[in-house]
Structure 1
Amino acid sequence: MVSYKKVEALSRGLSILRYVNEEQEATVGSLHAKSGLDKATIVRMLETLEQEGYVTRCDGAHWRVTGKTILLSGGYSAVREMGRLASPVLSESREILKWPASFGIFDRDAMIIADTTHDWRGMMVTRQPNHRPPMLTTSLGRAYLAYMDDKEREALLDLLRRDPTGWNALANKPAKIRELIADIRKKGYAVADNNYMAHTFGGDIWGMSVPVKGRTRLYGALVIMVLRRVIGEEEGVLDLAPRMQEVAPRIAEALGG
């Protein structure tokens, strides 16, 4: 429990900064659509962030973050260290997995990409290290969610229920969550929500993930991204799930077993 009331202005300003970072080149209109804040408020926040050096105008209408934002994550080393340890295994497993792969770890209310091979064989998927995929609609988040400790999972869902908009909406449907978890545990892998993938990639790509579990610890999850026109989801999981389940323990061993 917090001992004070949340500072709404700070919370909204941080949200705007996060949205600008996610979009790379954001407009007031796109930020309004994401945040629900009125446009005058968004302009004031952008201009304040600009004065502080965290965003800059690309032209008259677009905004992007500056290099100064890197300073905000300078004290967070977990993702870099986990990525460093997982990277050799991902590189060695490219021929096994066949498709671009990423390893992600849990980061409070989302996953965060620690390492990726998404530039492999010329297939570019815009999910680079430090990207934070949502928990309930991505295969990465779902695979981790299904194998979390029950108390930790409920704490996460309680956090997501506080902002049940967009990709967090499933948090308010406990029966659906239980059904989803049971299905993932039965199969040993998770697939992404079709609506999320259509919104993010235009329906051209589907994704699946498996948990990366050590002997006593859940480290994260392994995800691959597959072109639907090459192999469909139904056929793909039969071939790719065993391959991913072969690689995941190797990553766990590299991280400490």
Structure 2
Amino acid sequence: MLEQKVKTIRALERGVDVLMEIRRARAVSLHDLHVRLGLPKATLLRILVTLAGKGLVWQRLADGAYLASHVLQFSPAVDIAETLAEVATEPMAELSAKANWPSVLGAPRLDHIEIIETNSPLLRLDSATLGPVGVPLSYIHTATGRAYLAACGERERDAIIARLRPPGASDQSKAKLHAILREIRERGYSLREPHFDWPDRNKQAVVRDGRQSMAVAIYSRDEAVAALNITWPTKRISTEKVVERHLQTLRATAARIGTALEQLS
């Protein structure tokens, strides 16, 4: 039994309180911690920096929220996407500095690919603001979705396409989609074009928003687990120049994220 007369360490208590609140809330802002715990923001920042330095918490690029780390395996993530977003934060921050265009990281769901991280806030480009976290993206109308769909296993790809196929869609249209995905695999990256006629989510936005995206799949142990893109305004730079300047950096970043995920298992 602990000696009752021994005093507790107030600073440690505060740190534990902050960590417990972050774990309880799953994702929380500095302001939320200030309101919920009643601690000054300057004190909270020192605690957060200390916890982050020890690998116990991390800060999401997309919105600045603080989350409990899964990297140390104290509590395995319910969804691999949480761990994936955590290990991708630093590589994506470096990607934004190298490419100067924003990116999103997308994880697969049943009938869409979901944004789980974005470096868009680091660049603050009104013409190419991406996110927020949680936004669903089309598998067939976005470069991010196409990159994953082209790279995933055949059985998974067939199941996704079966969910997306509209009633009455012809076999010829399905064959056209498979041809698009085959070209992506051969080329090694995806674009939004050519446009496709199935009425899935995001179609009108992709056609009208004046942007272009390039994306590659992220692999862990030879299996596609996510996709990473770069997005830019079409009036500012051509697709050819972006591919020439940034494709290798995008691929290297995706490989780095995949390797970081592999090292945790």
Same fold? TM cut 0.5 = yes
Partner of 1:32: none
In the alignment, which residue of structure 2 is the partner of 1:249?
Answer: 255
If each structure's helix is expressed as a fraction of its own residues, which one has the higher value? 1
Equivalent residue letter for 2:186: K
> Where does 1:139-178 land on structure 2 (aligned, <5 Å)?
139-161=143-165, 163=166, 173-178=173-178
Correspondence list, 1:179-218, <5 A: 179-193=179-193, 199-200=205-206, 202-218=208-224
**1:129 is paired with a residue of what secondary structure?**
coil
Q: Which amino acid aligns with 1:80?
A: E
Q: Cα distance 1:112–1:254, how it changes in 2: closer, same or farther (>3 A)?
A: same
CA distance in 1, matches of 2:171, 2:120: 29
Whose radius of gyration is greater, 1 or 2?
Answer: 2
* Partner SS for 1:173: helix
Q: Aligned-pair distance for 1:227?
A: 1.7
Q: Do structure 1's residue 134 and structure 2's residue 113 form an aligned pair?
A: no
Among residues 236, 241, 246, which one is paired with 2:242 in the alignment? 236
Quick one: distance in 2 between partners of 1:170 and 1:133? 23
CA deviation map 1:127-149 (0-9, x unaligned): 21111101001000100111111
Q: TM-score, length-normalised on structure 1?
A: 0.62
Alignment gaps of 5+ in structure 2: 1-76, 196-201
Q: Secondary structure at the match of 1:114?
A: strand
In the alignment, the residues of structure 1 paired with residue 245 and residue 111 of structure 2 have an alpha-carbon distance, to the nearest angstrom, of 31
Change in Cα spacing, 1:160 to 1:143, as seen in structure 2 (3 Å) is: same
TM-score, normalization: structure 2?
Answer: 0.60
Tell me how large the CA RMSD over aligned residues is. Answer: 2.6
**Count of aligned residue pairs for this structure pair:** 179
Identity %: 23
Give the secondary-structure state (helix, strand or coil) at the position aligned to 1:119: helix
